[in-house]
Amino acid sequence: MYATAGRALPVDPGTLPVTALPKAGPSVAESSYVTGLKALTENRLDDADRSFRGCLDVAPKAAACMLGVATVASQRGNPQASGLWIERAAAAEPDNAHAQASLGRWRAVNGQMAGAVTALESAIRLDPKAVRPRVDLGDIYLASGRDLERAIKLYREAIAIDETHAGAHYALGVALTRKGDAAGARKEFQRAASLSPGNPLPALGLAEMFAASGDLKQAEQYAREAVKAQPSLLQGRLVLGQVLEAGGRYDEAMKQYREMAAAQPKLAAPHFHVGALLHRRGDLAGAAAEYGKALKIDPEFAPALNNLASIELTNNKAPTKAESLARRAVAAAPNNAAYRDTLAETLAAQGRHEAALAEQQQAVRLEPRNPVYLAHAGALQARLGKKADAIDSLSRALEMSDSFPGAAAARKQLDSLRR
């Protein structure tokens, strides 16, 4: 959870223990390894590289020294060379827990999840007290969304081995949040924050948790802590902006979003959030301009495509152009119900009600408990003369909620159909 996404981090030099010393070879190999490790921790990469390679001159199959060379390559920004050395280390000493753990992390970073799981499980089997492989393996299960309980089990095992591992506590907090255990998540985030006071992620986790529960005061406090700890953290400013926006403090929220955009000019998301707030405040021209900036950076940025489609439809009365934008949003994120709903609106505006209903029913399938999409489906069914289906859809929508956006119109239409 604490690793930098997209970058190979084969070995954490600050925690590589003495037990990783070369198994065989003359004593000079061990001496070279220790010298390299010291240079690595002092960020003397050239010296570290010479020492690790010197170790390999006298002990060519020493996995520990190969991992040292891999770490230097990673820190120099050469992940491919790093990966090659990790692969060599794991092949040279397949029973080396550190080599297997590094191989697992390398494969995970490169999207080779099945191989990553195999290597990390090997590392755990070879070293039953290993913490990092358990956290890494838990992260894979958590990210997949398919085995939350297994991820929680691994994080708890890691904490049982090392109660002071901040990353394990933070990751467990994320997993418990997804499980719906707010009290447990809060405890883990707070423990992670106490163990790693300069890290913004635990505070951010708490901010998101309190925001979801509606406690905006606490959410703002923790979001500000995250931003203070790392002002460049995009997600921190985003959460703070959303909390301020939820509290009606639009000018303060806009300040956060604009600072995001200024700090990250090559990212589409900050411009989108500026646009979304302008959209909410009724400045459609300003919103469209910001969505356009987002799409100039990333032409397939689905949220901007979707919202721009809505503006083209409702404000510019351009349903054909809106349809084109909405179709691009759906193509970029086909499992997003909101984008299907927008596409259905653009089709209905052109009188293509059968096609609109097909898209609307896709939205309902994706989010069957959302009354808005059901009500929209009911309205289309009524327009197509499918009275029984329309009554069923509208009735179910109103059973879910009588206060969703458009509920009054849905009730009126349902009463008319029942007459």
The secondary structure of 196-214 as a DSSP string is: -TT-HHHHHHHHHHHHHHT
Residue 285 has which token pair? 């021209």
3 vs 76: CA distance, rounded Å: 16
255 vs 245: CA distance, rounded Å: 11
Q: What is the pLDDT of residue 21?
A: 57
295 vs 291: CA distance, rounded Å: 6
What φ, ψ does residue 128 adopt, rounded to 5°?
-60, -15
Whole-prediction pTM value? 0.74
With contact defined as beta carbons under 8 Å apart, do 279 and 309 qualify?
A: no
pLDDT average per 10 residues of sequence, the chain (419 residues): 32 46 64 89 93 92 92 91 93 92 91 93 94 93 88 96 94 93 94 92 93 93 93 88 92 91 88 93 94 96 96 92 97 96 97 97 96 96 96 96 93 93
Q: What is the pLDDT of residue 23?
A: 58
Q: What is the pLDDT of residue 405?
A: 92
* Diameter over CA atoms, the chain: 94
Q: What is the pLDDT of residue 5?
A: 30
Q: What is the pLDDT of residue 8?
A: 35
Q: What is the pLDDT of residue 337?
A: 96
Q: What is the pLDDT of residue 11?
A: 43
Q: What is the pLDDT of residue 302?
A: 96
33 vs 56: CA distance, rounded Å: 9
Q: What is the pLDDT of residue 10?
A: 40
121 vs 101: CA distance, rounded Å: 8
**Location of structure tokens 């929508």:** 397
- Identify the structural domains of the chain with CATH numbers, from first to last: 1-130 (1.25.40.10), 264-360 (1.25.40.10), 368-419 (no CATH)
Please enumerate, as own/partner, the contacts of 201-207 that have beta carbons within 8 Å and a separation of 24 or more. Answer: 201/1, 201/2, 201/170, 201/226, 202/166, 202/169, 202/170, 202/173, 203/229, 204/233, 204/235, 204/236, 204/239, 205/170, 205/173, 205/174, 205/177, 207/236, 207/239, 207/240, 207/243
Q: What is the pLDDT of residue 20?
A: 57
- Strand, coil or helix: 242: helix
406 vs 403: CA distance, rounded Å: 8
Q: What is the pLDDT of residue 22?
A: 58
